Amino acid sequence: MTSEPPRARTRSAALAVRTTIEEPYVKRMPTMLAKLAAGAAAMMLVTIVNAPPSFAAPTLEVSQLEGLTDGQVLTVSGEGYEPGLSGIAVGQCVEGYAGPADCNLPNGSTFRTADENGSIGEFTVTVNEKFGDHDCTVVQCYFASGPIPNAVDEATYKANVVEHKISFGAPAVEPAPAEPTTAPAATTPTTPTTGGTALPKTGGGDSMPVVLLSGSALLLLGLGVIVAFPGRGRTGVAQ
């Protein structure tokens, strides 16, 4: 029986040791991967559950915003506010409002609490041209909703504010666009025609023919006189 060379025996021994070490690790690989995947999924689930809920931007529906009359009753509804948020002021306020004195209380404004769905319900308010020291025919007024400034943090305030400009009196009528002016039609110049009533042309170019014709006429007239009275001429000469 032929014995293996020393180098071959060493390589075979190393391969056997490597196989003995790697085989259990390879067998455990699927289990380890499954555990890692389960851990990652659990972490994602925790992140999703603990993330703050996101809500749609609030909307405020008002039955009329322009051409309002003093004492007019408006129907109002709103949704999309932070669920459970209380102290939401809704109503007529002056531009730059900062507190209750800047809003039309108690008729034109009220306070609402959002339900679990973020709705403030439907209700009515009465708006006025003037309230307190404010005149909405002079300064810009709004129909707005939102928490009282400084009553909540800035992020909550900005996320729950809706503002609509309002105006009293007949809405401004935009002037009708001016009709385009039509340019007068271009006229084609006409060539003057000559006729029986046309005036004769005069000028330096006509002077020579006129002189010749006049001279010819005088010559013919003189010849006519000589022919008509031939004897009288001869009698005068004889004497």
Q: Which of 139, 156, 169, 144 is nearest to 68 (CA)?
A: 169
Q: Decide if pLDDT at 197 tops 90.
A: no
Q: Which tens digit of pLDDT belongs to each residue from 126-168?
A: 999 999 999 999 999 999 999 987 889 999 999 999 999 999 9
What percent of the chain has pLDDT above 90?
42
Q: Are 156 and 85 in contact (CB under 8 A)?
A: yes
Q: Are 78 and 120 in contact (CB under 8 A)?
A: yes
Positive or negative: CA dihedral 146, 149, 150, 154: positive
Q: Which of 163, 171, 164, 108 is nearest to 134 (CA)?
A: 108
Q: Are 147 and 86 in contact (CB under 8 A)?
A: no
Exposed, middle or buried: residue 23 (CB in 10 Å: 0-12, 13-18, 19+)?
Answer: exposed
The CATH homologous superfamily of the domain defined by 59-166: Neocarzinostatin-like (2.60.40.230)
Q: Decide if pLDDT at 26 tops 70.
A: no
Burial 110-131 (b: 16+ CB within 10 A, else e): bebebeeebbbeeeebbbbbeb
Domain residue ranges of the chain, discontinuous segments joined by +:
8-51, 59-166
Q: Are 108 and 74 in contact (CB under 8 A)?
A: no
Q: Which tens digit of pLDDT belongs to each residue from 170-179?
A: 866 666 777 7
